[in-house]
Structure 1
Amino acid sequence: MTNPQVPISTIEAPRARGGFLLYASRYGTLVAFLALVALNIAITPNFLSMQTLTVNLTQVATIVIVATGMTLVIATGGIDLSVGSLMAIAGAIAPMIFMHPAWPAGMMPIAVTLAILVPVAVAAVLGLFNGMLITRYGIQPIIATLVLFIAGRGIAQVMTNGNLQVFRNDSFQFIAMGKIAGIPTQVILMMIIVVIAWAVTRYTVIGRQIIAVGGNERAARLAGLPVKRVKLYVYMISGALAGLAGLVVIARNSASDANLVGLGMELDAIAAVAVGGTLLAGGRANVIGTVLGAFVIQLVRYTLLANGVPDAAALIVKAGLIVFAVYLQQRADKS
């Protein structure tokens, strides 16, 4: 029974504040995305043109591909700092395969196929290596993945002797430069990966296991869930998607530079996941939110550049978005 001496407003206020924070944490990314679109319509010339749409979609595609894998990793309570370096490794391997002079002209389709499959497989194995450091040797994820964050780019630089690999191969570059029904191939790849990841986290056993492991690893282990196997899976998937994103980047640029491919991508991916509403502590996987988070990050950068603001300012805004997203998550959980 409500105490008549306590004003109703003091009882309802915390509930109202908690409700606001809950809605902000759930729908704040969508609101931010719509606000950025509206702002650009108002102040950015030609924002609604097909060219601008294509530029933003192709720029965000690699972020979404990497961030989707990062979402699964973070949902288990982990982190993957190695994704940018794995992109560089995959990007270094691919040209070395299809540019090899030993390939006869008639075998080039096989060379291109291998140039796609082998780098992705190598990146997946390296992701599995991250998972083994974490599950078998008990190394903290941030430390375990820091190993390849540092060494991975060095490996890519050693493989290429630090040289820029310039190429022109229409068959390979179709993964980034081609179009299907007028839609860029890399955007189609992005959508396929997002739909699969969304379906897995929402409707499959492995998806529920990922959430359970991130929510309470000890309880998941006591319940008989294959905690180690789940972690191995998510790090392997994260590595494979990073490798694929590396191929998209070099195909789009017609060149592979081990010094630059994937540079800073781990930060963009983590930012997209955080802004998108996936808890950095684990126990939740919001794949659609990650996509929106990636678009918010891309639109922030595009808005600033299109209106004459230096790119460095986008880094400051990105950092602020992460801090604000984490703040909303923590306050919503406490409400």
Structure 2
Amino acid sequence: MADAPTIGRKGASFDVAAFFRRYAALTALIVLLAFNFAVTPNFASWQTLNVNLTQVATIVIVSVGMTLVIATGGIDLSVGSLMAISGALAPMIFLSSFGLSYPALGNALAFVAPVAIAGVFGLFNGWFITRFRVQPIVGTLVMFIAGRGIGQVLTNGNLQAFKNPTFQFIGLGRVFGVPCQVIIMLALVAAAAWTLRSTLFGRQILSVGGNERAARLSGVPVASVKRWVYAISGLCAGIAGLVVVSINSSSDANLVGLGMELDAIAAVAVGGTPFTGGQATVVGTLIGALLIQLVRYTLLANGVPDAAALVVKGAIIAGAVWSQQRGKST
């Protein structure tokens, strides 16, 4: 008589180890939530939820574009610098003579133009990578360096302080009590998840990351797909830049988006999207970003210094990568 399948054994009807590898971030998030509800004072309050969601929103917005880029087997180091460019341009537009003379048009242009320009810079990243066949980490390093310089040149390196309630609604406004940037975050996550699951473009993204040569032989426009993916990453960074400066009521090209590329990459890694490409989970990226944010909040709320929180964050990323590698070998 054949042995019954053992839970956790390879080939079993239900593999516990595989389940936890696949849903490790979600499981950790649930455990951490339960711990905070039981231990952390005032955790179960709207104020705490609001703080955590608003702090993670810009990271997730950038990470949506980063997820698509990594799904093609690429990486985008320029997102923080593109945030600085977008954040520098918006106040320049609505504080210009045109913007002050025609406030409605000035504010509309301040929403649209910086995001579009960030998207164009992202498209340049994709063109540079595909045209000269350079590694994405090298191709986007150019804009990582030059982009922040562009933002500093635009503002002469000065802080731009402002008060513009219409423009600042994107960062400070609420819709039925929900912060506007959280709504933007969820909308982008939903749109990207739908694109990957239900559209030809989404299937092309995954095919390029899975096997670029096979995708090309199958008729997939590989160069075009990569260029548009980097353009989308630029658009997401542009939106995040507007959110950050609107929250701060000021724009500082020296600081806006600083280190954001690392936070976005970390969220994607912890969320379960492999850096080898061919697979992607935007919802996982959202969970990864929430997990990293909640770990930091939990440690700070319980008296652990922020420096230690950074060490734990690094350990979480290392654990996520290790889990991915274990998943490949089984």
TM-score (norm 1): 0.94
Amino acid of the structure 2 residue aligned with 1:164: L
C-alpha displacement of 1:234: 0.5
Partner of 2:112: 117
Residue 91 of structure 2 corresponds to residue 87 of structure 1:
no
1:21 and 1:328 in contact (8 A); partners too:
no
Change in 2 beyond 3 A, CA 1:331/1:15: farther
Partner of 1:64: 60
The within-5 A match list for 1:216-295 is: 216-295=211-290
Compute the RMSD of aligned alpha carbons.
Answer: 1.9
Partner of 1:138: 133
TM-score (norm 2): 0.95
For residue 37 of structure 1, the aligned residue among 29, 33, 40 is 33
Provide the C-alpha distance between the structure 1 equivalents of 2:319 and 2:277, rounded to a whole number of angstroms. 18
Partner of 1:332: 327
Paired residues in the alignment total 328
Provide the C-alpha distance between the structure 2 equivalents of 1:103 and 1:286, rounded to a whole number of angstroms. 40
Deviations 1:64-84 (A, max 9, x none): 100010000000000001101
The answer for unaligned runs of 5 or more in structure 1 is none
Provide the C-alpha distance between the structure 1 equivalents of 2:99 and 2:138, rounded to a whole number of angstroms. 41
Amino acid of the structure 1 residue aligned with 2:279: R
Provide the C-alpha distance between the structure 1 equivalents of 2:99 and 2:328, rounded to a whole number of angstroms. 58
The answer for unaligned runs of 5 or more in structure 2 is none
Amino acid of the structure 1 residue aligned with 2:217: L
Deviations 1:238-257 (A, max 9, x none): 00000100100000111111
Residue 83 of structure 2 corresponds to residue 74 of structure 1:
no
Partner of 1:201: 196
Partner of 1:25: 21
Provide the C-alpha distance between the structure 1 equivalents of 2:94 and 2:16, rounded to a whole number of angstroms. 54
Residue 45 of structure 2 corresponds to residue 49 of structure 1:
yes
Provide the C-alpha distance between the structure 1 equivalents of 2:4 and 2:46, rounded to a whole number of angstroms. 54
Partner of 1:323: 318
1:66 and 1:83 in contact (8 A); partners too:
yes
Change in 2 beyond 3 A, CA 1:87/1:103: closer
Amino acid of the structure 2 residue aligned with 1:70: M
Structure 1 residue ranges (4+ consecutive) displaced by more than 2 angstroms after TM superposition: 7-10, 12-16, 18-22, 101-105
Q: What SS does the corresponding residue of 1:136 show, helix, strand or coil?
A: helix
2:88 and 2:252 in contact (8 A); partners too:
yes
Partner of 1:108: 103
1:21 and 1:332 in contact (8 A); partners too:
no
Change in 2 beyond 3 A, CA 1:312/1:134: same
2:25 and 2:271 in contact (8 A); partners too:
yes
Provide the C-alpha distance between the structure 1 equivalents of 2:138 and 2:318, rounded to a whole number of angstroms. 22
Amino acid of the structure 2 residue aligned with 1:27: Y
